[in-house]
Amino acid sequence: MSVAQKVIKPIEIESFQYLLEHIEEYKEIFITNAVIVFRGVAISRGQQLILMRKFGDKTGWFPNSTSDITKQWSYEENHSHTIDTYNKHNISKDEILIPWHIEHIGYKNPAVGASWNMEKFTCERGIGNTLFVNVADVYDDFDDEKLEFLNKCRIAYLDYSSSIDEEPAIHPAIQLHRPSGRYALRLSPQFNPLDKFCYLHEFDGTSPTEPQQDTFAKICKEYVSAIQDNQANQQVHIWEQNDVVVADLFLMAHAVLGGFKPEDRFFYGCWAHAEESSKFGEN
Protein backbone atom coordinates (compact mmCIF):
# COMPACT_ATOMS: atom_id res chain seq x y z
CA MET A 1 0.00 0.00 0.00
CA SER A 2 1.41 3.40 -0.99
CA VAL A 3 1.80 6.13 1.61
CA ALA A 4 -0.17 9.32 0.93
CA GLN A 5 1.61 12.62 0.55
CA LYS A 6 1.52 14.89 3.58
CA VAL A 7 -0.70 17.91 3.01
CA ILE A 8 0.88 21.16 4.18
CA LYS A 9 -1.50 22.89 6.59
CA PRO A 10 -1.77 26.65 5.97
CA ILE A 11 -1.57 29.12 8.85
CA GLU A 12 -4.69 31.28 8.94
CA ILE A 13 -3.92 34.96 9.46
CA GLU A 14 -6.31 37.83 10.20
CA SER A 15 -4.17 40.56 8.66
CA PHE A 16 -0.62 41.32 7.65
CA GLN A 17 -0.15 43.05 11.00
CA TYR A 18 -1.24 39.81 12.71
CA LEU A 19 1.41 37.95 10.71
CA LEU A 20 4.10 40.41 11.82
CA GLU A 21 3.02 40.15 15.46
CA HIS A 22 3.60 36.39 15.32
CA ILE A 23 6.62 36.46 13.03
CA GLU A 24 9.12 35.01 15.53
CA GLU A 25 6.91 31.93 15.97
CA TYR A 26 6.55 31.57 12.21
CA LYS A 27 10.30 31.84 11.68
CA GLU A 28 10.84 28.86 13.99
CA ILE A 29 8.19 26.84 12.15
CA PHE A 30 9.89 27.69 8.88
CA ILE A 31 13.35 26.60 10.05
CA THR A 32 11.88 23.27 11.17
CA ASN A 33 9.61 22.61 8.18
CA ALA A 34 11.46 24.46 5.37
CA VAL A 35 8.09 25.59 3.98
CA ILE A 36 5.26 27.64 5.44
CA VAL A 37 1.93 28.77 3.99
CA PHE A 38 -0.11 31.82 5.03
CA ARG A 39 -3.81 32.04 4.18
CA GLY A 40 -6.71 34.32 4.99
CA VAL A 41 -5.94 37.75 3.61
CA ALA A 42 -4.45 39.25 0.46
CA ILE A 43 -0.87 40.45 0.95
CA SER A 44 0.50 43.22 -1.26
CA ARG A 45 3.78 42.88 -3.11
CA GLY A 46 5.37 45.42 -0.82
CA GLN A 47 4.25 43.44 2.22
CA GLN A 48 5.59 40.28 0.58
CA LEU A 49 9.04 41.87 0.36
CA ILE A 50 8.84 42.88 4.03
CA LEU A 51 7.99 39.26 4.84
CA MET A 52 11.01 38.01 2.89
CA ARG A 53 13.28 40.44 4.74
CA LYS A 54 11.90 39.27 8.09
CA PHE A 55 12.63 35.65 7.21
CA GLY A 56 16.04 36.70 5.87
CA ASP A 57 16.93 38.01 9.33
CA LYS A 58 16.51 34.43 10.59
CA THR A 59 17.97 32.49 7.68
CA GLY A 60 20.74 34.88 6.62
CA TRP A 61 19.50 35.09 3.05
CA PHE A 62 19.10 38.27 1.02
CA PRO A 63 16.81 40.20 1.15
CA ASN A 64 16.97 40.90 4.88
CA SER A 65 16.87 44.00 7.06
CA THR A 66 20.49 44.86 6.19
CA SER A 67 19.95 44.79 2.42
CA ASP A 68 18.91 47.58 0.10
CA ILE A 69 15.09 47.70 0.10
CA THR A 70 15.10 48.62 -3.60
CA LYS A 71 17.22 45.61 -4.56
CA GLN A 72 15.19 42.48 -5.14
CA TRP A 73 14.77 39.72 -7.67
CA SER A 74 11.14 39.10 -8.43
CA TYR A 75 9.01 37.72 -11.24
CA GLU A 76 5.44 37.12 -12.38
CA GLU A 77 4.40 33.59 -13.31
CA ASN A 78 1.46 31.79 -14.89
CA HIS A 79 3.55 28.98 -16.44
CA SER A 80 2.46 29.94 -19.97
CA HIS A 81 6.04 29.59 -21.25
CA THR A 82 6.31 25.98 -20.09
CA ILE A 83 2.81 25.12 -21.30
CA ASP A 84 3.42 26.60 -24.75
CA THR A 85 7.03 25.50 -25.21
CA TYR A 86 6.45 21.87 -24.25
CA ASN A 87 2.84 21.62 -25.48
CA LYS A 88 1.43 20.83 -22.05
CA HIS A 89 -1.97 22.40 -22.71
CA ASN A 90 -3.98 19.27 -22.00
CA ILE A 91 -2.19 17.51 -19.17
CA SER A 92 -4.27 16.45 -16.18
CA LYS A 93 -4.18 17.61 -12.58
CA ASP A 94 -2.30 14.41 -11.66
CA GLU A 95 0.49 14.91 -14.21
CA ILE A 96 3.70 16.85 -13.66
CA LEU A 97 3.72 20.23 -15.41
CA ILE A 98 6.95 21.67 -13.95
CA PRO A 99 9.41 18.79 -13.42
CA TRP A 100 11.08 18.12 -10.10
CA HIS A 101 13.99 20.52 -9.59
CA ILE A 102 16.15 22.35 -7.09
CA GLU A 103 15.94 26.01 -8.02
CA HIS A 104 18.80 27.61 -9.96
CA ILE A 105 21.25 24.84 -9.04
CA GLY A 106 23.10 25.53 -12.29
CA TYR A 107 23.94 29.11 -11.30
CA LYS A 108 26.77 30.53 -9.22
CA ASN A 109 24.41 32.10 -6.68
CA PRO A 110 21.37 29.78 -6.65
CA ALA A 111 18.13 30.76 -4.98
CA VAL A 112 18.00 29.53 -1.39
CA GLY A 113 14.47 30.73 -0.76
CA ALA A 114 11.37 32.20 -2.35
CA SER A 115 7.88 33.43 -1.62
CA TRP A 116 5.02 32.84 -4.02
CA ASN A 117 1.94 35.05 -3.68
CA MET A 118 -1.02 33.53 -5.57
CA GLU A 119 -2.73 36.73 -6.66
CA LYS A 120 -5.18 34.94 -8.99
CA PHE A 121 -6.55 31.42 -8.64
CA THR A 122 -9.77 30.53 -10.39
CA CYS A 123 -9.12 26.76 -10.65
CA GLU A 124 -11.06 24.10 -8.85
CA ARG A 125 -9.51 23.03 -5.57
CA GLY A 126 -6.78 20.44 -6.02
CA ILE A 127 -5.61 21.67 -9.42
CA GLY A 128 -2.07 22.97 -9.91
CA ASN A 129 -0.80 21.61 -6.59
CA THR A 130 2.86 22.10 -5.69
CA LEU A 131 4.84 19.09 -4.44
CA PHE A 132 7.84 19.32 -2.14
CA VAL A 133 10.55 16.94 -0.90
CA ASN A 134 13.09 17.99 1.72
CA VAL A 135 16.48 16.80 0.46
CA ALA A 136 17.82 16.79 4.03
CA ASP A 137 15.29 14.02 4.74
CA VAL A 138 16.67 12.09 1.75
CA TYR A 139 20.19 12.62 3.12
CA ASP A 140 19.09 11.16 6.46
CA ASP A 141 17.78 8.04 4.70
CA PHE A 142 21.04 7.32 2.84
CA ASP A 143 23.48 4.87 4.41
CA ASP A 144 26.97 5.81 5.57
CA GLU A 145 28.70 4.23 2.57
CA LYS A 146 26.79 6.37 0.08
CA LEU A 147 27.27 9.52 2.14
CA GLU A 148 31.01 8.87 2.48
CA PHE A 149 31.23 8.59 -1.30
CA LEU A 150 29.15 11.73 -1.92
CA ASN A 151 31.24 13.72 0.57
CA LYS A 152 34.13 13.36 -1.87
CA CYS A 153 32.10 14.54 -4.87
CA ARG A 154 32.01 17.95 -6.50
CA ILE A 155 29.30 18.32 -9.11
CA ALA A 156 29.25 20.47 -12.24
CA TYR A 157 25.87 21.99 -13.09
CA LEU A 158 24.62 23.96 -16.04
CA ASP A 159 21.18 25.50 -16.06
CA TYR A 160 19.02 23.84 -18.71
CA SER A 161 18.65 27.16 -20.52
CA SER A 162 22.45 27.44 -20.85
CA SER A 163 24.77 26.25 -23.59
CA ILE A 164 26.87 23.21 -22.69
CA ASP A 165 29.89 25.29 -23.76
CA GLU A 166 29.37 27.71 -20.87
CA GLU A 167 31.35 27.43 -17.65
CA PRO A 168 29.39 25.30 -15.17
CA ALA A 169 28.64 26.11 -11.55
CA ILE A 170 30.47 23.64 -9.31
CA HIS A 171 29.11 22.68 -5.89
CA PRO A 172 29.77 19.93 -3.33
CA ALA A 173 27.25 17.09 -3.53
CA ILE A 174 26.58 17.47 0.20
CA GLN A 175 26.23 20.88 1.80
CA LEU A 176 25.39 22.15 5.27
CA HIS A 177 22.10 24.02 5.59
CA ARG A 178 23.24 26.57 8.16
CA PRO A 179 19.84 27.77 9.44
CA SER A 180 18.81 24.27 10.55
CA GLY A 181 22.23 22.64 11.01
CA ARG A 182 21.16 19.78 8.73
CA TYR A 183 23.05 18.33 5.79
CA ALA A 184 21.41 18.26 2.37
CA LEU A 185 21.99 16.42 -0.88
CA ARG A 186 22.45 19.11 -3.53
CA LEU A 187 21.89 16.89 -6.55
CA SER A 188 19.63 17.25 -9.57
CA PRO A 189 16.22 15.55 -9.17
CA GLN A 190 16.29 15.16 -12.96
CA PHE A 191 19.72 13.49 -13.09
CA ASN A 192 20.41 11.41 -16.17
CA PRO A 193 23.89 9.91 -16.73
CA LEU A 194 23.63 10.83 -20.42
CA ASP A 195 22.76 14.44 -19.58
CA LYS A 196 25.57 16.96 -20.11
CA PHE A 197 23.99 19.50 -17.74
CA CYS A 198 24.88 17.70 -14.49
CA TYR A 199 27.89 15.46 -14.00
CA LEU A 200 30.56 14.37 -11.53
CA HIS A 201 33.32 16.96 -11.91
CA GLU A 202 35.77 15.86 -9.23
CA PHE A 203 36.17 12.97 -6.80
CA ASP A 204 38.41 13.32 -3.76
CA GLY A 205 40.29 16.19 -5.40
CA THR A 206 40.98 14.54 -8.76
CA SER A 207 39.20 13.80 -12.02
CA PRO A 208 36.76 10.93 -11.50
CA THR A 209 37.43 7.48 -12.88
CA GLU A 210 34.82 5.60 -14.89
CA PRO A 211 33.93 3.33 -11.92
CA GLN A 212 33.47 6.42 -9.72
CA GLN A 213 31.24 7.98 -12.37
CA ASP A 214 29.21 4.76 -12.47
CA THR A 215 28.86 4.74 -8.67
CA PHE A 216 27.79 8.38 -8.72
CA ALA A 217 25.17 7.66 -11.38
CA LYS A 218 23.82 4.72 -9.37
CA ILE A 219 23.49 6.82 -6.21
CA CYS A 220 21.84 9.64 -8.16
CA LYS A 221 19.31 7.18 -9.55
CA GLU A 222 18.33 6.27 -5.98
CA TYR A 223 18.16 9.96 -5.08
CA VAL A 224 15.87 10.72 -8.03
CA SER A 225 13.61 7.82 -7.10
CA ALA A 226 13.46 8.97 -3.47
CA ILE A 227 12.10 12.31 -4.69
CA GLN A 228 9.96 11.41 -7.67
CA ASP A 229 8.59 7.99 -6.68
CA ASN A 230 8.44 7.82 -2.88
CA GLN A 231 5.24 9.57 -1.80
CA ALA A 232 6.23 9.10 1.84
CA ASN A 233 8.88 11.78 1.23
CA GLN A 234 6.51 14.15 -0.54
CA GLN A 235 4.49 17.05 0.80
CA VAL A 236 1.77 18.81 -1.18
CA HIS A 237 0.38 22.32 -1.05
CA ILE A 238 -3.21 22.68 -2.29
CA TRP A 239 -3.55 26.24 -3.54
CA GLU A 240 -6.22 28.84 -2.90
CA GLN A 241 -6.29 32.45 -4.05
CA ASN A 242 -4.11 34.80 -1.96
CA ASP A 243 -2.08 31.97 -0.45
CA VAL A 244 1.50 33.01 0.27
CA VAL A 245 4.06 30.21 0.35
CA VAL A 246 7.57 30.78 1.72
CA ALA A 247 9.89 27.93 0.75
CA ASP A 248 13.50 27.13 1.62
CA LEU A 249 14.83 26.29 -1.83
CA PHE A 250 18.19 25.08 -0.53
CA LEU A 251 16.29 22.15 0.98
CA MET A 252 13.08 21.84 -0.98
CA ALA A 253 13.05 20.04 -4.29
CA HIS A 254 9.67 20.77 -5.83
CA ALA A 255 7.39 20.21 -8.80
CA VAL A 256 4.06 21.58 -10.04
CA LEU A 257 1.07 19.53 -11.17
CA GLY A 258 -1.02 20.52 -14.17
CA GLY A 259 -4.71 20.67 -15.01
CA PHE A 260 -4.96 24.46 -15.44
CA LYS A 261 -4.65 27.06 -18.18
CA PRO A 262 -2.34 30.08 -17.89
CA GLU A 263 -5.32 32.40 -17.47
CA ASP A 264 -6.53 30.35 -14.47
CA ARG A 265 -3.78 31.29 -12.04
CA PHE A 266 -1.04 33.84 -11.55
CA PHE A 267 1.48 34.41 -8.77
CA TYR A 268 4.11 36.97 -7.88
CA GLY A 269 7.41 35.50 -6.75
CA CYS A 270 10.35 36.89 -4.80
CA TRP A 271 13.73 35.13 -4.81
CA ALA A 272 16.19 34.95 -1.93
CA HIS A 273 19.90 34.27 -2.40
CA ALA A 274 22.82 33.42 -0.15
CA GLU A 275 24.76 36.39 -1.53
CA GLU A 276 23.39 39.85 -2.20
CA SER A 277 23.21 39.42 -5.94
CA SER A 278 21.15 37.70 -8.63
CA LYS A 279 21.46 34.00 -9.53
CA PHE A 280 24.11 35.04 -12.06
CA GLY A 281 26.26 36.58 -9.32
CA GLU A 282 25.46 40.07 -10.66
CA ASN A 283 24.37 42.98 -8.47
pLDDT of residue 282: 67
63 lies in a domain? yes
The Cα–Cα gap between 171 and 205 comes to 13
Same domain, 245 and 180: no
122 lies in a domain? yes
Same domain, 241 and 261: yes
122-170 pLDDT, tens digit each:
999 999 999 999 999 999 999 999 999 999 999 998 865 555 457 888 9
pLDDT of residue 161: 56
Same domain, 11 and 93: yes
Same domain, 125 and 248: yes
Same domain, 156 and 72: no
pLDDT of residue 1: 35
280 lies in a domain? no
43 lies in a domain? yes
Secondary structure (3-state) at 92: coil
Domain count, the chain: 2
Domain ranges, residue 167: 136-228
Secondary structure (3-state) at 113: strand
pLDDT of residue 41: 97
CB atoms within 10 A of CB 147: 16
- The list of the chain residues with pLDDT below 70 reads 1-3, 70, 159-165, 282-283
Same domain, 48 and 174: no
Torsions phi, psi of 108, nearest 5? -70, -25
